[in-house]
Structures are given as structure tokens and as C-alpha cells.
Amino acid sequence: MTAADIATRLAAPEPEARRVAAQEIAKLRGKDAATLLLRALADDDWRVRKEAARVAASVEPRAIVMEALVAALHDKLDIGLRNAAVEALVGVGQDVLALVVGELGKLDADGRKLAIEVLAGVPDPRGARALEGCLEDPDPNVRAAAAEALGRAGASGDEARELATAALVSALGDAEVGVVLGALEALAALEVRVPWASLERLARDPLLRRHALAAAARSREPAALAAMVAALGDPSATTAKDAALLLGDVLFEVDDDDVFARLRHAVPATEEALGRVRGWARGEDTRLRGAALAVLGLARSEVDVALLVDALADDAVAERAELGLTLFGQGAIAPAIAASRIALPAARGASISMMPMLALGHEADVVAQLRDALRSPLPDVLMGALKGVAMAGGGAELACVVPLATHPEARVAGLALSALFSIASRQPDAAVRLLAELDPTGPDAACGCVLIDAAARGGRRSTDADLAFLRTSLAQGAVLARKAALEALATLGGEAASEAVSFALADEEREVVLIAVRAMGRLKRPEPLERLAGGTDDPALVSAVLRALGDADPERFVAAALPLVSSPRPEIACAAVEAFGRVDGRAREDGLFAALDHTDPEVVKLALTEVARIPDARALARLGMCLDHAGADVRKLAGELLGNAGGAGAQALLRARLERERDPGVRAALTTALMTPPHESVE
């Protein structure tokens, strides 16, 4: 198709015809191509402009096209052309940067803002340096645009990120509110922890207060957190609400009693402020409600304990309510007990389970409450009591727990066995005394196996009687008893234990077989595991066998697992990949690298995820190779993983691929990966 043909079609009345004509421009060469490209970029229909911007990078000669696109930034009449030119310039990539930077001083303010969009859209340190200079522009709107654009500097590498961080922190002193807001948003995009000293002044400005407090939440400095707590009493309900939401997230990450003491001192003492928080804690907004519950824990007012206890029954905010009670501390015990008596069963159980944590150092004071709760007919209350007893119970509580191990509610029974194990680990002598009363063939056989296991792990030497109990339970007990016996036999070890476990590999119950496999690994018995690895097509069993084989004998594991990563059955190959991901050394790399050649993209993606955990240059290189994989999903994942890996090498690989990548979804993923902050935020 000639230039004249394309020009004719660009004049067609139908937008679709003009869009198709814009596609053809990429096939031309010479000045006519650039002229027609600008014409398409100025089209009235957005689809035509979008198509023209997409093909711009392929139009030749490239130099003439770039000059024409940069010249379009000067057009003050055709706004559509200007905006389309920006998109086209970004698509062309790094080659346009020198031209755009050189043109900055010649453009009007609106043109400079458009040039800033180009500099922000093309990942390159040169663009970040030019944007830094734009922070000195006489026009405040240009400075604000430059500040906002620097939030994408992470895509240009660590050097650009550091440059942008320093420039943006300096811009916080700008006299224009818009510039400061742009700088705060950019620093948030870069995930920078801004020192409170740079934010304290801004937090006193009503127009900037909310944004400064959001930045303060990232700083994690005690003074910044105290300012957020104080903001709960702000005259602006919106500012106070924002502060509460931020605190709801931040308080989970604080682990310093001195900091908590400072925050409690900063809680506004006015009834108006606390009433506002209580209202949020009763509201329908789940996130705000959860944040308010955590804040009420800081306030430590007994009238709020019932509200916190009731919230434990709501899964949407239970975690925040637990945090609130934890922050409240020991003073919450008495009012929590009172509130739990009339609370829903789930709330009562959850509050009871927390009692030992609230009474750290004084656990004996709550044991009576726990023993009483173990007599409840309600499963939720029983589960809470068992969790509490597991933490605070002594030898005397073992006998109270045993009957619950056969409770018809499976969750109660499971927690009872866990509680037995916890207590017996601390009280092995009491466990041995109770064991003498249990029948290895009766309903309490699982309890006996758990007591033997826990006592052995607690340091007590096993006896022939212990082994006999376990073997009898394994041969004649119910499924739960057989599973518990296998765990205990693996703990005891020895030839007799291994022999007993080997018979369980043929058990009729799949759950029992899987536990027997794991026990063989703990017992360092690879031979039967080798036979199983090559003789089953059950992916779950393959995974368990390989994991156990890795524990028993790493060399035999490699011999058994390496052929399986190439299995034509993806689920088997994935099981082998997961197994290689759990071992160390060169064997892991060999297995995972082999899996990257699998024909199934899901196997390759799983292997990529495991390779990304290997901190060496070979792994980084293999991730880079997968940027050229035929599957777009694989390339996308490889880009995301390289972004998480960080470092100059990863960013160089990402930028190189971005220049060649044509799939829009993959390009977006690569750009995002380039903007991913390093593992440690820049201070």
C-alpha cells in the first residue's frame, strides 16, 4: 500500500477504516510515513489515535519520526495530537529522551508537563535526572507534575530511586501546596520511609495534615505514631478517621512496650474523641471498625471490653479485636470474663482462649476459669478453653482434656489432642502417670500415643511399654490412633519403630499412609520410599514420598526426583518441583533448572517461583532467560520475580526485555517490576 493509498483511507468517514489505515503506516519508509503518522495521531477518533501511537515505534526513519513527535508537543491548538504524541513517544522508548530533555526549555508550561509525562513513562536514569531539574521550574503546576512523575523513578534503577527520594524530600519544603502533595504521593509510590522531622511541620497544616500522617505511618518512628494517635481527636472527622485506619494497620507491626506506653499517653482523653472511635467500632465499615477496636485497646477503658469481646465473634474483625484486648492487657481479664458470660459462644470461646496471654506471668490466676469452660456443652467455648489450657494448663488439667479427644465435633477433638501434647511436653511425669490408665485398643488410644510422643520430645527416655502401646494402637486402633502412633514411633526411632511404621505404608486409609511416609523420612529409612516414588501416579503421595526421601537420604532423593520433573503428567512434575524447592545445594538448582524446560507452562511457572528463592547469579540468569519464553504468562511471571529480586542485574534484564516486548500485559508487568522497591526501603 502506497502513501497515497493510506492518505486516502485516513480520510475515510468510518473510524474503523482509518484505524486500519493507521496500522499500515508502519510499512512505509521516508518522510511520508512521519507525516501520515502525525495525521493519524490528530484524528478525531480515539481508537485511531491509539492505533497510531501503538505503531509509532515501528515507523521508519526513526529519527524523523521522533523529531516530528517532539515538535507536536509545541502544538497549542490540537490537544488530542499533543496527548497522542506523548503516548507515541513513550512507546518509542529510550531513544527519544535526549530530544525531549533538549526541548524542555523551549516548551510552554503545558508542553513541559507533557514532556514530563514522557520522561516518567520511559524507564531511564536520564529521565529521573531531568525530572529532578523540573522541580526548580518557575511554574508550580510543572513542579507538581515533576514531583508526581518522580514517583515512577523506581523503574529506572536504584540510582534513580535514590536521586528521586532526595529530590522529593527536598520538595516537601516547597511553598506551593500542590507541589508538596505531589511529592508526598510520589514518596508513597516509592514506598520511602520519610523521617518524621521532614513531616512534622506539614502535619500541622490543615491542607496537608492527612497526607503527612499517611507518610508518618510508613516512617514507624514513635513520635510519628504518637502524632497519629493524637490525630484521633482532630476537629476534622475525616482526618481522625484516616488516622484510625492507618493505626489499625501499623499497630500490628509495633513490638515495643515503651512505644505502646507512649502511644497510650497520646490517646485523646476527651469523651468526644473516644465516643467517635466507639461509634466506628460499632459501624458497618469493616476496615474502620477493626481499626477502631485496636485503638480502643490503647485507650484502656473498661467500658470498651464488652465491645471487644463481642467483636471476637465476627471473623471480619476478630483479629483486630484480639489486638485490642492484647493492647489492653491484664486489666481486661475481669471485665472480659464478665462480658463473656452473656456473649455469643464464639466470642466467649475466643475471649477465654486469650486469658493466658492477657495474664502473662500470672497464668495460674485464669486456670480455674479454663477448667470451668472445659465443662461447657458448647463447641466454640470448648475450643477456646482448650487453646487456653494448651498455653497455661498443668499436669492436673490432662485428665480434664482426655475425654474431649473423642468429642463428636472434629475441631474440638483435634484441639484436645494438641492441648494434651502441649501440656505433656511441659509435664512429662504427669503424662506418664496418666498413660498407665489408658487402653491402647480403646477410644483413648490416640491420647496415649500423643502423651508418649510429647513426653519423649520433652526429654523423657522411652520404655518397652511405650513401644508396645504404640505398636498395639497402630495394629488395632482407629484411624486417629494409628496416625498418632506413627508420629510417636517416628519420635522414638530405632529398628523396632521402623519395622512397625513400614507395615503402615500398606494401610487402607490414605491419611495413614501419608503420615507413615513422613515417619519413614524422619526415621531415615529411604529404601521403601524409593520403591514408592517410582510406583505411584498419585501426585499427593509422590509429593509426600519425595519430601520424606529428601529427609532420609538427599542423594537418593535426587536420583528419584530428577526424572519426575520431566514427567508428561504436569501434576507429577509439579510435585517433583515442589520437592526440589525444599532441598538445599546444587541438587535444588539442577532439578529446578530442568523443570524450566518442561512443555507445560504451569510447571515452568512453579519452577520459576522456586528458582526465584535461590540467591545467586545462576538463578538470576535463568529468570532472565525466561523473559524470552514463548508463553506470555511465563514472561510476565519472570518479570515480576526479577522485580522482587531487585538489584542492578535484574533491572538491566528487565529494561532490555521491555525494549523488545510487544504484549501489552507483559509490558505492564515489566514496567511494574522495574518500579518495585528494593527489599529495604530507602530511608
Q: For residue 604, give the nearest of 572, 640, 631, 564 by alpha carbon.
A: 631
Q: Is the pLDDT of residue 512 over 70?
A: yes
pLDDT band of 1, cuts 50, 70, 90: confident
Task: Judge contact between 309 and 339, C-beta under 8 A.
Answer: yes
Residue type, 18: R
Q: Which pLDDT belongs to residue 679?
A: 52
pLDDT digits (tens, 9 = 90+) for 521-579: 999 999 999 888 877 888 899 999 999 998 999 889 999 999 999 999 999 999 999 99
Mean pLDDT of the chain, nearest integer: 92
Q: Which pLDDT belongs to residue 12?
A: 94
Q: Which pLDDT belongs to residue 112?
A: 96
Task: Retrieve residue 210's grid coordinates.
Answer: 492527612
Q: Which pLDDT belongs to residue 58?
A: 87
Q: Is the pLDDT of residue 317 over 70?
A: yes
pLDDT digits (tens, 9 = 90+) for 458-509: 888 889 999 999 999 999 999 999 999 999 999 999 999 999 999 999 999 9
List of E strands, 275-342: none
pLDDT digits (tens, 9 = 90+) for 137-159: 999 999 999 999 999 998 888 88
In the chain, the percentage of residues whose pLDDT exceeds 70 is 99
Size of the chain in residues: 683
Task: Judge contact between 643 and 623, C-beta under 8 A.
Answer: no
Q: Three-state SS for 475?
A: helix
User: What residues contact 17, with CB distance under 8 A and at least 6 apart?
Assistant: 9
Alpha-carbon span 387 to 681, nearest angstrom? 38
pLDDT band of 682, cuts 50, 70, 90: very low
269 versus 36: the higher-pLDDT residue is 36
DSSP code of 508? S
- How would you classify residue 123: left for phi > 0, otherwise alpha for psi between -120 and 50, otherwise beta? beta
Task: Retrieve residue 221's grid coordinates.
Answer: 518512628
Q: Is the pLDDT of residue 349 over 60?
A: yes
Alpha-carbon span 339 to 321, nearest angstrom? 14
Q: Is the pLDDT of residue 644 over 60?
A: yes
Alpha-carbon span 536 to 521, nearest angstrom? 17
Q: For the purposes of burial, counting CB atoms within 10 Å of the CB of 251, is it exposed (0-12), middle (13-18) or buried (19 or more)? A: buried
pLDDT band of 683, cuts 50, 70, 90: very low
For the residues of 91-111, what is the DSSP string, one character each?
Answer: HH-GGGHHHHHHHGGGS-HHH
pLDDT band of 73, cuts 50, 70, 90: very high
Q: Is the pLDDT of residue 653 over 60?
A: yes
Q: Three-state SS for 616?
A: coil
Residue with cell 459501624: 283
DSSP code of 377? S
Residue with cell 465435633: 409
pLDDT band of 78, cuts 50, 70, 90: confident
Task: Judge contact between 661 and 650, C-beta under 8 A.
Answer: no
Mean pLDDT of 606-615: 92
Task: Judge contact between 163 and 128, C-beta under 8 A.
Answer: yes
Task: Judge contact between 181 and 143, C-beta under 8 A.
Answer: no
Alpha-carbon span 39 to 6, nearest angstrom? 11
φ/ψ of residue 24, rounded to 5: -70, -20
Mean pLDDT of 513-528: 94
Task: Judge contact between 401 and 393, C-beta under 8 A.
Answer: yes
Work out the end-to-end distance of the chain between its first and last CA atoms, rounded to an integer number of angstroms: 57
pLDDT digits (tens, 9 = 90+) for 289-305: 999 999 999 999 999 99
Q: Is the pLDDT of residue 680 over 50?
A: no
Q: Is the pLDDT of residue 125 over 80?
A: yes
Task: Judge contact between 43 and 18, C-beta under 8 A.
Answer: yes
For the residues of 1-20, what is the DSSP string, one character each?
Answer: --HHHHHHHHT-SSHHHHHH
Q: Is the pLDDT of residue 681 over 70?
A: no
Alpha-carbon span 496 to 320, nearest angstrom? 49
pLDDT band of 678, cuts 50, 70, 90: low
Describe the crossing of helices 286-299 and 257-266 by its angle, rounded to 10 degrees: 100
Task: Judge contact between 243 and 213, C-beta under 8 A.
Answer: yes
pLDDT digits (tens, 9 = 90+) for 399-449: 999 999 999 999 999 999 999 999 999 999 999 999 999 999 999 999 999
pLDDT digits (tens, 9 = 90+) for 220-268: 899 999 999 999 999 999 999 999 999 998 998 888 889 999 999 999 9
